[in-house]
Chains A and B, each alone.
Chain A
Amino acid sequence: MNALLASASASASASASVASAATSGASGMTTSVWAQPFFHHALLAGTFIALAAGLVGYFLVLRAQVFTGDALSHVAFTGAMAALAGGYDLRLGLFVGCVLVALLLAGVGRRGKADDVVIGSAFAWVLGLGSFFLTLYTTSASGLGDGGAGTSVLFGSIFGLDGGQALVAVLVALAVAVAVLLIARPLLFATLDENVAAARGVPVKALGLGFLVLVGVTAGEATQAVGSLLLLGLLAAPAGAAVRLTDRPFHGLALAAGLAVGEMWAGLALSAWIPQCPPSFAVMAAATAVYAATWLRPRRASRSSLVVARG
């Protein structure tokens, strides 16, 4: 309850400070926003959240599980709303909800890969549940009529993080990043060549489950930065760009993480300069722009030589 109020008020004060900075003139604006503690918290948390999202996203794209991430974005909203309605910190609901549903999807889907029908069915029901919890929360005494919490979960409130929340976000994201790097090679093997990997003693099923747990945690993290509606972009866009830019798996992994962090910085800087531009939008704009730019890149030379060789 206290944490919730703190986060809600921090969010309010942060947006107020951005607004006041905006009205106080062009030269003063940039220095004041850049020097604000809320911006430092956002930069710190955003950097590590983006790092984790880039690494996890690369494998999501490679394993064709991007829509698992989409399902989790619905769950993130519902989990946060359920926690608020129950009077807990919304982050608790985020993480518990995302991880549980990631495990559920893995359990229902065959071989640690959730299939389309399962995810599709989960979508609508979960989102409806979220709107139920939101109503429960806003109409209850504990809610104090704070309908803004729903919006901040849906669209993110990275400028609303206080020092403690930023620290937790950094630690969780760091743990996710280390875990992804630790399982990267066997996970790649299991992704590309499941049967051979299993015959080689790679715990294919456990890796699939463990990876989905990491996806769940990352979805909870990314919701704080860009919101549950937009987290899919942070997971998929940098990784999708990396897959298009290199055909070496570990270069791709590093590139996905690097692009995600760079796009997070660009987005935060953009929204600091232009106060009308919310950070979630700015980060997504940067991510989408980079992904779109990879399509402008000319075809690889190897591709043309392939055509010649076949012709």
Chain B
Amino acid sequence: MNPVVAPTSQPSAPSASAASGASGASGAPAPVIGLRGAAVRVGGRTLWSGVDLDVRAGEFTAVLGPNGVGKSTLVKVLLGIVPAASGEIRVLDRRPGEAGSRVGYLPQRRSFDPDLRIRGIDVVRLGLDGDRWGVPLPFSRTRRDERERIAEVVELVGASAYAHRPIGQCSGGEQQRLLIAQALVRRPEVLLLDEPLDSLDLPNQSAVAALIGRICHQERVAVVMVAHDVNPILHHLDRVVYIAEGGAVSGTPDEVIDSDTLTRLYGTPVEVLRTRDGRLVVVGQPEAPAVHSDRHAG
């Protein structure tokens, strides 16, 4: 859980500049995700417009904002499930939805039925071959490679101890790790996560956040994660997209989660406070029940 900064200094990361720097466009590799003036309409209503965003390999980006502003819709636009109303959107140099297994996806979800008697490892395996017709043949040539890859990815998320148990009997955090393994099993270059920390307890929130940060920086996966609360992931983040009031700002966490920036975005005075332990609290944000608990705590 601890060193998220360490991997960037390892020689395995050939382009460390990409992970750290978003400012210098020259020399940086082309972004894996690019949005230019993107807008989306759902049911005749424009959810947001004018969103610009570049995400490069190995960058951890959070999509923040109050409830109901269309954070999940941004992920669905990147997946190609929801069409963009205007603007240009590129995912891995293709249009959304055309990059296939190079994009991993973890939807917002409730947990599995406790009575579900399917092993975690079988759920992970579906990420590898679930879209293939037929049934797995017992003596096929690729079977050993597949088994090795599944064991590898289960090890990566630290789920080896319980991957052979029925997934319904695993805890919420364990299920979430297995589902992250499922999303990673085909070595995607982009990982889209929709509120993966939702419904986890605090220790599991920080553990899963650290896991995602590690995967992002070590495996050079570009992560875009919709989040309710920025604090569990704050230390792992490279970029933030903050959606509110039909608009959006993007940049580094320090640039975006800032009193002046958010005041401009909301159009009303908003203050960002930093508590002694480094947590950020947004005060004065309209229609945001999400931060009530934080406000009392701060």
Contacts and interface: CB of A to CB of B under 8 A. Distances in A.
Interface stretch (B105-113, B211-219, B223-231, B234-242): B105-113
B118 A249 contact: yes
Interface string B52-82: 0000000000000000000000000001010
14 contacts: A182-B133, A184-B135, A186-B132, A192-B123, A196-B183, A200-B101, A200-B105, A201-B100, A202-B131, A247-B118, A302-B164, A302-B165, A306-B162, A306-B165
Nearest to A190: B130
Contacts of A199: 79, 81, 105, 107
Q: Chain A interface residue count: which class?
A: 20 to 34
Contacts of A306: 162, 165, 169
A167 interface: no
B126 A188 contact: yes
Contacts of A188: 126, 130
Contact of A186 (B133, B164, B171): B133
Which of A188, A199, A306 has the most chain B CB atoms closer than 10 A to its own CB?
A199
A247 B135 contact: no
Q: Secondary structure at chain A's binding surface: helix, strand, loop or mixed?
A: helix
A193 B126 contact: yes
Contact of A200 (B109, B131, B135, B166): B131
A186 B130 contact: yes
B8 to A, nearest CB: 30
A253 B134 CA distance: 13
A197 interface: yes
A161 interface: no
B53 to A, nearest CB: 20
Contacts of B122: 247-249
B173 interface: no
B129 interface: yes
Interface string A187-218: 01100110111111110000000000000000
B106 A196 contact: yes
A197 B132 CA distance: 11
B109 A184 contact: no
B292 interface: no
A171 interface: no
Contacts of A250: 135-136
Nearest to B80: A199
A185 interface: yes
A248 B131 contact: no
B119 interface: yes
A197 B130 contact: yes
B117 interface: yes
Most A CB contacts (10 A, CB to CB) among B118, B133, B162 go to B118
A253 B135 contact: yes
Interface of A: 181-186, 188-189, 192-193, 195-202, 243-244, 246-250, 253, 302-303, 306, 309-310
Interface of B: 79, 81, 100-101, 105-107, 109, 112, 116-119, 122-123, 126-127, 129-136, 161-162, 164-166, 169, 171, 182-183
A291 B100 CA distance: 42
Contact of A303 (B109, B131, B169): B169
B109 A195 contact: yes
B119 A202 contact: no
B162 to A, nearest CB: 8
B134 A247 contact: no
Given A185-B129, A193-B126, A202-B130, A243 B136 contact: no
Contacts of A248: 118-119, 122
Most buried by B among A196, A202, A243, A250: A196
Instruction: Kindly name the residue among B117, B119, B161, B164 whose own CB sees the greatest number of chain A CB atoms within 10 A.
Output: B117
Contacts of A196: 105-107, 127, 182-183
Contacts of A246: 117
A54 B123 CA distance: 22
A185 B136 contact: yes
B133 A183 contact: yes
B100 A195 contact: no
B11 to A, nearest CB: 34
B130 A200 contact: yes
Contacts of A182: 133-134
B117 to A, nearest CB: 5
B123 A193 contact: yes
B117 A244 contact: yes
A250 B165 CA distance: 16
Contacts of B117: 243-244, 246-247
A197 B101 CA distance: 11
A87 to B, nearest CB: 41
Contacts of B133: 182-183, 185-186
B54 to A, nearest CB: 23
Contacts of A302: 164-166
Contacts of A184: 134-135
B233 to A, nearest CB: 22
